[in-house]
Amino acid sequence: MDDDAARERLLDAAEALFYSRGIQAVGMDAVRTASGLPLKRLYGLYPGKAALVEAVLRRRDVRWRGRVMARAMREDDPRGRLLAVFDWLEEWFGEPGFRGCAWINASGELGATLPVVAEQARLHKAAFRADLLGLVRGAGLPDAATDGVLLLAEGAMVTAGIFGTTAPAREARAAAATLIGAA
C-alpha cells in the first residue's frame, strides 16, 4: 500500500475514533488496530499523536466546510444560501454518531495543553466565518451580519451536541431569518 492510501486509511480510523471517544481516550494502539497499519508505519506517516490530531482536524475542516458550502450553493436565492447553512446543520445533527463540533470538542479537551489543537480550532472557526462572510456579501447584507449568523450556527452546534437533538438548527435558522430580514 502506498503512503497516500495508508495515510487516508490512518486518518479515517483516527478521525472516527477521536470523534466518537475523544482524543485523550484513544491511544495509538487503538488507532493502529482500527487502521490495520503496523505501528512503525503509523509513526512513519505521523511522528506523534499531536501531528496525527493536527492532520485529522485539517482534513476534517476541508471536508466539513465543503459539505456546508455545497449544501448552501444548491440554493438559487442568495439569502436562501445563507439559511441553507442551518438546513445542513440540521441534517448533520441528525446523523448517527453526531457528537457536536469536532473543533470545539478538541479545543475543550486539549486546547489548553496542546497548542496545535487550539490553533486548528481557531483556523477552522476563522475559515467558517470567512465562508459565512462570502454568503452574507452574496446576499447583499452588511458584513456586520456575519458574526450574528456565526454565533447562531456555533450556538446551535454546541446545543445540539449537548442535548442530542436537531431542534437547535431550526431555532437558529429562524433567528437567522429574523436577522437577515432586519439587515
Residue (of 82, 102, 119, 88) closest to 158 by Cα position: 102
CATH (one of 3.30.300, 1.10.12, 1.10.3470, 1.10.10) for 1-47: 1.10.10
Kindly provide the b/e burial profile for residues 36-46, where b requires at least 16 CB atoms within 10 angstroms of the residue's own CB.
ebeeebbbebb
pLDDT at 161 over 90: yes
pLDDT digits (tens, 9 = 90+) for 130-147: 999 999 999 999 999 999
Q: What percent of the chain has pLDDT over 70?
A: 100
As a whole number, the mean pLDDT across the chain is 97
Q: Which residue has the cell 495508508?
A: 6
Q: What pLDDT, on the 0 to 100 scale, is given for residue 127?
A: 98
For the residues 4-11, what does the mean pLDDT come to? Answer: 96
Query: Please, are residues 3 and 35 in contact by the beta-carbon 8 Å criterion?
Result: no
For the residues 150-170, what does the mean pLDDT come to? Answer: 98
Q: How many whole angstroms separate alpha carbon 23 and alpha carbon 15?
A: 9
pLDDT digits (tens, 9 = 90+) for 52-102: 999 999 999 999 999 999 999 999 999 999 999 999 999 999 999 999 999
Q: What pLDDT, on the 0 to 100 scale, is given for residue 141?
A: 97
For the residues 5-28, what does the mean pLDDT come to? Answer: 97
Q: What pLDDT, on the 0 to 100 scale, is given for residue 183?
A: 81
Assign 1 a pLDDT band (cuts: 50, 70, 90).
Answer: confident
Q: How many whole angstroms separate alpha carbon 171 and alpha carbon 177?
A: 10
Q: May I ask the CATH architecture of the domain 56-182?
A: Orthogonal Bundle (1.10)
pLDDT at 11 over 90: yes
Break the chain into its structural domains and give their ranges. 1-47, 56-182
